[in-house]
Amino acid sequence: MAKNKLNKNWLHDHINDPYVKLAQKEGYRARAAYKLKEIDESEKLIKQGQVVVDLGSTPGSWSQYVRKKMSGKEGGGITGTIIGLDMLPMDPVADVHFILGDFREAKALRQLDVILEGRKADVVLSDMAPNLSGIPTADSARMEHLIDLAIEFSQLHMKPSGALLVKCFKDMGFSQVVEKFRAEFKTVKQVKPKASRDKSSEIFLLGRGLKNPGVRNAVEEDETSLDI
């Protein structure tokens, strides 16, 4: 009974959520678009001409927002490159390159290299979150692992002056994640957009400027030479 009541309360809140209604009105696939919109408007993240990578992009609302920011009009093309990656399928978004697969694996990385054509990303976005087990230690470890992957991806595929935005949860190993960001980025900022529900511990971390750009590349090259 308690679970049914909880589900009904969530459904009631969701249906009456102003951001859900706004997303339906403006054609976004999820209310999450407004979290990115708020952060972008305050931090000036997305600009025309950039290369933007959206990790864990499905269902596509962040890619939709980036596309709109790079264009300003539907169907008219964009100035820049948007790449979405996810292990789950995503319905096409105009002008967005979508790669279905695990970005740690060779097949997805080859597709990424073809689209990048030797370029690096200006901005890497990650709205990734783990499937929760309800066990705090396990959930914290899973969240931290996803953020580690986003940082590693940025070390390999982002410009030294680039920015990484990731979703975190304050009750999931947050202090350790902040320390990792401070070790890797010149500036680190915590952002809680109004579109994040008040009841949620969700918060976003924004890191700008890699402290050690190319370090992972150098390590990988050394390991490759040892293997030969």
Cβ atoms 96, 27 nearer than 8 A: no
Cβ atoms 96, 83 nearer than 8 A: yes
Q: Tell which residue, 22, 19, 83, 44, has the closest CA to residue 208.
A: 44
Tell me how far CA of residue 204 lies from CA of 128, 191, 196, in angstroms: 11, 5, 10
Tokens of 176: 């350790």
Which is catalytic among the residues 35, 68, 69, 167?
167
Q: Are strands 81-86 and 121-126 parallel, antiparallel or unpaired?
A: unpaired
How far is 54 from 124, CA to CA, in rounded Å? 6
Q: Is 86 annotated as a binding residue?
A: yes
Q: Is 102 annotated as a binding residue?
A: yes
Q: 69 catalytic, yes or no?
A: no
* DSSP-assigned beta bridge partners for residue 51: 81
Q: In sequence order, which residues have a C-beta less than 8 Å from that of residue 213 and are 6 or more positions away?
A: 155, 159, 160
How far is 36 from 39, CA to CA, in rounded Å? 5
Q: Is 62 annotated as a binding residue?
A: yes
- Residues flagged as binding site for S-adenosyl-L-methionine: 60, 62, 86, 102, 127
- Residues flagged as binding site: 60, 62, 86, 102, 127
Question: What are the catalytic residues?
Answer: 167
